[in-house]
Structure 1
C-alpha cells in the first residue's frame, strides 16, 4: 500500500529547502529512511516513523519527500551519481571496451554492496509491474536515464566498433544486462557476493566479442532484432 503524500508547506520549506541547513535536513531524512528500510523492511517503514527517528516534524519530512516512494527514487538517483563517480577512474584510464564495461559493472556492484542486506526488500516491491519503484516506471526515469548514460559513456569513449545500426541502442541493451547482474546480486549469498563478480568477469568477454562481431553481415539480422527490441521497450 502506498502512503498518501502530504501537502508541501511553501516555496522555501520548513527548514529552508534552498539553504545548507535544508540540504542537511533532507540528507538526514534520506539516511534515516535507508536505515529504517534496513532494520524494519520497506513495508513496515512509514513516513511518520522516518520523521520521528530523524527528529523532524512529519510535515517537514513530507516537504522534502512527498511520499515513501519519493525517498526510494532519491536513493536510486544518488546511487547513479555514486556509480558514475566510482567508474570515473576506469573510464578516464581505459579505452578498451571490455575493460571499460567491466569497470562500470564492478563499480555498480561496489556502490550497491552496503545495501545488500535489504536489497531484497526493494526488489519485492519493484518487481510489481505497476510499482513506481520499478526500474521501468515513469517515476524511475531520471535514475534509469542516468544509468543508461553511464553505459553510453563506456561505449562512446572506447575503441569498440559495433554495427552502426546497433550503436544507438547498445547503451540501453547494456543497461538491461546490468539489471540482470543486479538481480543476480540481490539473490547472491556467497561471501562478499563473489559469485556476482565472477558473473561480471565471465559475461564481459562474451559481450565484447558479440559487439565486435556485430559488424559481420551474417549477424545483421540479430542486430536488427536487438534494435527492434529496444524500440519496442521504449514505446
Structure 2
C-alpha cells in the first residue's frame, strides 16, 4: 500500500511538471511551483526528484512512449524507407507539438556539454535507447537493401536525423511549423537515397563514420555527471 502511494505521488509530480512545462514554459516552472500545484511540500517533491532537470528525463521518456504508440500503427510493412521515415518524423513532431512554446529555452539548457538534459548524456540513456529502438522498427518494416553493417548502424543514424529535425522545429516560426514538415519530407528522401547508395563499394563507410562519431560523443555510464 505504501509503495502504491509513493508511486502515485511520484507520478503526480511528473504529470504536474509536464503540464506546467506546456503551459508556463521551462524557465517559469520551479520545483516549488510543481510541489504547490501537486499539493505536496517542497521537501516531499525533492525526495522524489533532485530538481526540475531530473523531471526533464521524465519528459523524454513520456515523449518516447507516445512517439512509439503513435508511430507503430502507421508504419507500412514493405514500404520504401522514405515513406516510413517520413511517418516516424511526422509522428515525432505531432507528439512534441504541445511543448513548442518552451522549446528554445529548453534547448539552451540542454546544449551545454555538461548538461544532464543533453540527449547525448548518460542520464538520457533510457530515452535515447527507446528512440533508437523505434528507428530499428522503422528499418525492419521498410524495404531496405543495404550491406549488413549499414543496416546494423542505420537506426542510430536515423535517430540523429530525428534530432536534427527536432532542432529545426524548435526554432521554426512558420505557420503550423510548416517548414519542419517540408524538412521531414526532404530529409526522408535524401536519407533513403543515401542508404541505397551504400551498396556502392566504399559508400557504406559514410554511415559507419557517422555512427562512430556518435559513439565518441556519447559518454559511457562511468562518466555520468554527478
TM-score range, shorter chain: 0.7 to 0.9
2:14 equivalent among 30, 34, 43: 30
Instruction: Please give the secondary structure, in 2, of the residue aligned with 1:140.
Output: helix
Alignment CA distance shift 1:62-1:102 (3 Å): same
Unaligned runs of 5+ in 2: 220-226
Would you say 1:163 and 2:137 are equivalent positions? Answer: no
* In the alignment, structure 1 residue 154 sits paired with structure 2 residue 144: no
* 1:220–1:32 CA distance, 2 compared to 1 (3 A): closer
2:39 paired with 1:55: yes
Distance 1:222 1:40, change over 3 A: closer
Larger radius of gyration: 1
Structure 1 residues 63 and 198: alpha-carbon distance in aligned structure 2, compared to 1, 3 A threshold = same
Q: Given that residues 166 and 227 in structure 1 are in contact (C-alpha distance below 8 angstroms), is that contact kept between their aligned partners in structure 2?
A: no
Pairwise CA distance, 1:34: 2.7
Structure 2 Cα separation of the partners of residues 230 and 34 of structure 1: 29
SS at match of 2:122: coil
Match of 1:7 in 2: none
Query: Using a 3 Å threshold, how does the CA distance of structure 1 residues 156 and 42 change in structure 2: closer, same or farther?
Result: same
Task: Give the aligned length.
Answer: 218
Normalization by structure 2: what TM-score? 0.87
Give unpaired runs (5+ residues) of structure 1: 1-11
Deviation track 1:82-117 (CA, whole Å, cap 9, x = no partner) reads 0000101123x3322222111111110010001111
More contact order relative to length (CA 8 Å, sep ≥ 6): 2
With normalisation by structure 1, the TM-score equals 0.84
Secondary structure, aligned partner of 1:94: coil
Which residue matches 2:195?
A: 211
Distance, in Å, in 1 between the alignment partners of 2:8 and 2:208 is 49
1:173 matched to which residue of 2?
157
Separation (CA, whole Å) in 1 of partners of 2:143 and 2:19: 42
Contact 1:165/1:223, CA 8 A, preserved across alignment: no
